[in-house]
Chain A
Amino acid sequence: MMHALEITLQQCPEVLERVLRVTRHRGFKVTQMQMRINDDASMALNIWVEAERAIELLSNQLDKLIDVTHCKVLAATPLNQVAS
């Protein structure tokens, strides 16, 4: 399945590393990312990941990161329906 996540992060230099490390270690492959810095010292990250595992295995772990203030699963698309 392909999943889209919307994450709000506190701005700090290592926060992307934290998110990507957890994503890799929990068995999810990043296929696309968009990041922007908000005006209020937070960052917004939209990330698309691919895995056989349930997305909650990732979203729950990301939610546990101290610098993650918000993590929402937006959509799931079966891989065979992902537009190439």
Chain B
Amino acid sequence: MRGADAVIKVLAAHGVTTVFGYPGGAIMPIYDALYGSPVEHLLSRHEQGAAFAAVGYARASGKTGVCFATSGPGATNLITSLADALLDSVPLVAITGQVSSSVIGTDAFQEIDVLGMSLSCTKHSFLVTDINELIPTLYRAFEIAAAGRPGPVLVDIPKDIQLAALEYKTPLQSVNDELPPQASDIDAAVGLIKQAKKPMLYVGGGVGMAGAVAHLRQFIASTGIPSVATLKGLGSIAHGTQGYLGMLGMHGGKGANLAVQECDLLMVVGARFDDRVTGRLDSFASNAKVIHLDIDAAEIGKLRPADVAIAAELSLVLPALTAAVTGQLDIGPWQAEVEVLSRQHQWNYQHPGDLIYAPAMLRSLANKLPENSVVACDVGQHQMWVAQHMWFRRPEDHLSSGGLGTMGFGLPAAIGAQVARPDATVVTVSGDGSFMMNVQELTTIKRRKLPVKILLMDNQKLGMVKQWQQLFFEERYSETDLSDNPNFVLMASAFDIPGRTITRADQVEQALDEMLNSSGPFMLHVSIDDAFNVWPLVPPGASNSEMMDQMEKQT
């Protein structure tokens, strides 16, 4: 067997059923091995789209995503998606073809130092230099991608290694023991929780990635501790949970931010004090003691010292805490205070006039979505409206580029999610700026006949940048006007995707139903007014106590 055949066999051995990629010269042996193999390949139309589809696949399913690209430009096109997967801790194995070993380092055609490029945007990376190392390296790549805090792993395979003969042997696999918490750490955390009068849970994406959603919900149900979530933590806490105040941070809810500022104990679960969450760090929950629970020890104390830190499996830590503190808390007055904050700062969806009010539309969409559904967003105003106004049953149902904030994420991520969960209703919510960043992936929808729904909110602006220009750059609207956008519905029709445009609030309900009830793909192009901004907002450099409220005139 050739090295290339072994690559496909290792994928099959890891249960990989679909790979996303794009062929080219230096990866041709692997594509030859793929031909007729049981591993399905979905052709993207840009390697960034392929890797984002793999990210969407991984995030919607919890499995490791796999993508292929050739050397040189194929590999450089993967870089943004790898960086996205690194910052959002997504398990991914990227396999790139490399020029033959004998010409590496000679500036050969389509040669670039992929290993060198990968150092800052992967969890780990390999250049295979020995055919005997190929299979063990690929096994190791899958192990590293999923272990501990997950992340992307790149394996660069020179063409001669792909063509070299080998005998397939399954390597011995090391068993990753789950990291249990120390009893003394649990005792210390329990002590702080019992003392607290105003405890607050700050829940991040680590809970979902650790498979600890049920454990977290049990902890909340048993203790009644109020909670907030980060962008990536949305879906971890069930919608409607008593004391759950939604997202915190720069565009979080005012109730969520004020409650965190007021708490005396912050329990950080699978989160990392990101600057978009904390606002001015030295004033973030400044009266609170901190319990920091995260599998990644490097996050402990990185930005905020912890009074108690436990770097262990959340699925072991949370049940231990639940058992120790249930029935031991006296936080009735705090729960009542949080309830008042929740009521005072409820979202208001009443918006008079004919114009489509995006928050109300997205709330309505969330209420209409069936139980098995995924929403993939792009980046910008629409992304924040989705986070604020939609609700999700599980973290796997909300795909949003959090850490890197990558425009162009939504459409390919939705493609990957639809492949991973063929029976799910998959909706990509995008904006007119982001959508054009990976618009070539409409062809991938056409090719695979995927029923992905596209909700495209169009204000003919790079809305989030425009909002900041309006607020912080004296209304100097530098390069944010997109009034020369294409005719989106006409464009979609060129890819056999039907669609329609709506412009008035009274069209929303029927149009959402039409989109969700269509059996194939559908584009709902929604014209919104560029006067609508994302509110509330913590200005740059300000404390989360100082949120700016809505200031645009009613239209």
A contact residues vs B (CB 8 Å cutoff): 14, 17-18, 21, 25, 54, 56-57, 60-61, 63-66
Complex formed: what's the CA distance from A61 to B123 in Å? 11
Closest A residue to B303 using CB positions: A57
**Minimum CB distance partner of B126 in chain A:** A12
Tell me whether A61 and B298 are in contact (CB under 8 A): yes
On chain B, the residues within 8 Å of A60 by CB distance are 297-298, 300, 302
Return chain B residues, CB-CB under 8 Å to A66.
123-124, 144
Minimal Cβ-Cβ distance residue in A for B115: A14
* CB of A65, distance to nearest CB on chain B (Å): 8
Contact pick for A64, options B119, B120, B298, CB 8 Å: B298
Q: A17-B119, A21-B120, A60-B302 are in contact. List 9 more A-B contacts (CB 8 A).
A: A17-B116, A21-B119, A56-B301, A60-B298, A60-B300, A63-B297, A63-B298, A64-B297, A65-B124
| Residues on A with beta carbons closer than 8 Å to the beta carbon of B115 | 14
- A1 → chain B closest CB, angstroms: 16
- What's the tally of chain B residues with a CB closer than 8 Å to chain A? 14
CA distance A21 to B120 in the complex (A): 8
Q: How far is the CA of A74 from the CA of B235 in the complex (A)?
A: 44
Can you list 19 contacts pairing A with B, beta carbon distance less than 8 Å?
A14-B116, A14-B119, A17-B116, A17-B119, A18-B119, A21-B119, A21-B120, A25-B120, A60-B297, A60-B298, A60-B302, A61-B298, A63-B297, A64-B296, A64-B297, A64-B298, A65-B124, A66-B123, A66-B124
Report B25-63 CB contacts with A as 1/0, cut-off 8 Å. Answer: 000000000000000000000000000000000000000
Q: Using Cβ atoms and an 8 Å threshold, which residues of chain A touch B116?
A: 14, 17
* B45: min CB distance to chain A, Å: 32
Residues of A within 8 A of B124 (CB): 65-66
- Chain A residues with CB below 8 A from B298, complex form: 60-61, 63-64
Residues in B with CB closer than 8 Å to A64 are: 296-298
A18–B124 Cα distance when bound, in Å, is 10
- Whether B120 pairs with A57 at a CB distance below 8 angstroms is no
* A2 smallest CB distance to B (angstroms): 21
Measured CA separation A61–B272 after assembly (Å): 14
- Nearest chain B CB to A26's CB is how many angstroms away? 10
Q: B269-316: which residues lie under 8 A (CB-CB) from chain A?
A: 296-298, 300-302
> Inside 8 A of A63's CB, which chain B residues have their CB?
297-298
Bound together, the chains give a CA A66 to CA B120 distance in angstroms of 13
Proximity string of chain B (117-160) to chain A, C-beta cutoff 8 Å, 1 when within and 0 when not: 00110011001000000000000000010000000000000000
**CA of A14 to CA of B144 in the docked complex: distance in angstroms?**
18
Encode contact with A along B83-118: 1 for CB under 8 Å, 0 otherwise: 000000000000000000000000000000001100
Query: B124 — nearest CB in chain A belongs to which residue?
Result: A66
CB distance from B300 to the nearest CB of A (A): 8
